[in-house]
Amino acid sequence: MIYENEKQILRIIADLLQGNGLVGRGELADIQITPMSGDGSSRRFWRAGLNGRAVCLAVAPPDLSEKNMAEARAARNIGRHLQAKGVNVPKQYGWDEESGLILFEDLGDCKLHDSVKKSQAGNGLELNGIRPLYRDTVRKLTRMQVAGAENFNAHWCWDTAAYDRGVMLERESGYFLRAFWRDLLQEEEPQGLQEEFVFLADQAAKARSDYFLHRDFQSRNIMVHRSKVYFIDFQGGRSGPLAYDLASLLIDPYTRLPEEFQEELFGVYCDSISGLTEFDRKLFRHEYLLLALQRNLQITGAFSFLSQVLQKPFFRQFIHPALQSLQRIVSDPFFDELQVLRKTVKAASTRFQGVETP
């Protein structure tokens, strides 16, 4: 690895800051860096400061493997593209090709999730404090989806160039089946479930998919800085359908937004997107249900894997809310044909509670 210790990291950061005119030569010796955690990411994070003020955040891959360096290049290229399109993402102050380290604008520590937690009162959620932030978020999301798709280069993508049927079956419904149902619950696959997953993916894949898709658009990937929202962790961006990122935000288990507030934001989104692209609200509602179900399956699998395999216990507390959301979605009459999945989801909540309280 090119950065085996703090001195090497400090040297790379200092060279980039000086090379981009952000600090003078005489200030280099006073730069300090502080390691930061990265939620579920394996990437490495540092905050760089100078004389008590924040200068930037440094983000680097965990090693120099081809996969991790490709992810770093995706963050570099997609971030610059989105910024050029007027999307609220952090500015980039420097890039080190050899190590994959990027310097980002420091937007502080307040995530949208933190704003939601501050608005919680008793068992409820005081919406007045977060309503303006969420309404602004969904409006800015529509701009990112449409403007971000303009001149988007598929070669920037490190994982897949598009969200499609294969991604759904392997990394969403398949993820739920492997990481949650089999590995965490230790259950056998219900007969007929795979056939319903194929049907679900076939239907969801019909949605128009030439927009920009963030793919992890949730409250811990949205920063609140000086009363404005900014989007981070966009390195998984690719082409995809509109409804997926909206569903990610509204059914987010971190926040557990009330259903009536989800509907309010759904309306704000529809009003905003209809002014930017061709839009059929009734068709979009169907696409939203399909993609919300896909996203919910992915969330449940991801939280199971992060807590069970990667030993990150923070994520386990959100499995139950994810299952509750999954049960609400699949109970919609729109999914009357998915009887095996309905029974599986109903059993999942009971069996997960049994795992939690043996």
pLDDT tier for residue 2 given thresholds of 50, 70 and 90: low
pLDDT tier for residue 261 given thresholds of 50, 70 and 90: very high
pLDDT computed for residue 24 by the predictor = 82
Q: CATH 3.30.200.20: which residues of the chain? A: 6-104
List alpha helices for the chain, DSSP H: 6-19, 66-84, 112-118, 131-147, 165-168, 174-175, 193-204, 242-250, 259-273, 281-308, 319-330, 339-356
DSSP single-letter state for residue 333: G
Q: CATH 3.90.1200.10: which residues of the chain? A: 112-356
Q: Give, in order, the Cα–Cα distances in Å from 259 to each of 84, 153, 255.
A: 35, 36, 12
Percent over 70 (pLDDT), the chain: 97
CA–CA separation, 266 and 257 (whole Å): 12
Asked if 52 contacts 104 with a C-beta cutoff of 8 angstroms, the reply is no
Asked if 55 contacts 31 with a C-beta cutoff of 8 angstroms, the reply is yes
CATH match for 6-104 among 3.40.190.10, 3.40.50.150, 2.60.40.10, 3.30.200.20 = 3.30.200.20
CA–CA separation, 28 and 175 (whole Å): 46
Q: Which of 8-17, 204-213, 314-323 has the lowest mean pLDDT?
A: 8-17
Percent over 90 (pLDDT), the chain: 82
pLDDT computed for residue 1 by the predictor = 45
262-291 confidence digits (pLDDT tens): 999 999 999 999 999 999 999 999 999 999
According to DSSP, the residues that pair with 214 across neighbouring strands are none
The distance of Cα 1 from the centroid of its chain, to the nearest Å, equals 28
Average pLDDT over every residue of 107-131: 89
Which of 15-29, 110-124, 210-224 reaches the highest mean pLDDT? 210-224
Q: Read out DSSP for 164-200?
A: -HHHHIIIIIHHIIIIIIIIIT--PPPTTHHHHHHHH
Per-residue pLDDT for 260 more than 50?
Answer: yes
Residues 6+ apart with CB under 8 A from 282: none
Average pLDDT over every residue of 63-82: 97
> 112-356 has which CATH code?
3.90.1200.10
Please give the mean pLDDT across all residues of the chain.
93
Per-residue pLDDT for 121 more than 90?
Answer: no
Average pLDDT over every residue of 102-116: 96
Asked if 319 contacts 303 with a C-beta cutoff of 8 angstroms, the reply is yes
Amino acid at 270: C
pLDDT computed for residue 353 by the predictor = 82
Q: How many residues does the chain have?
A: 358
Amino acid at 341: L
Asked if 75 contacts 41 with a C-beta cutoff of 8 angstroms, the reply is no
pLDDT tier for residue 18 given thresholds of 50, 70 and 90: confident
Per-residue pLDDT for 53 more than 90?
Answer: no
The token pair that represents 88 in the structure block: 């609220």
pLDDT computed for residue 87 by the predictor = 98
Question: Mapping DSSP to helix (H, G, I), strand (E, B) and coil, where does residue 124 land?
Answer: strand
pLDDT computed for residue 4 by the predictor = 61
C-alpha closest to that of 135 among 225, 249, 211: 249
DSSP single-letter state for residue 107: -
**pTM for the predicted model, two decimal places:** 0.95
pLDDT tier for residue 5 given thresholds of 50, 70 and 90: low
pLDDT tier for residue 23 given thresholds of 50, 70 and 90: confident
pLDDT computed for residue 6 by the predictor = 72
pLDDT computed for residue 3 by the predictor = 56
136-170 confidence digits (pLDDT tens): 999 999 999 999 999 999 999 999 999 999 999 99
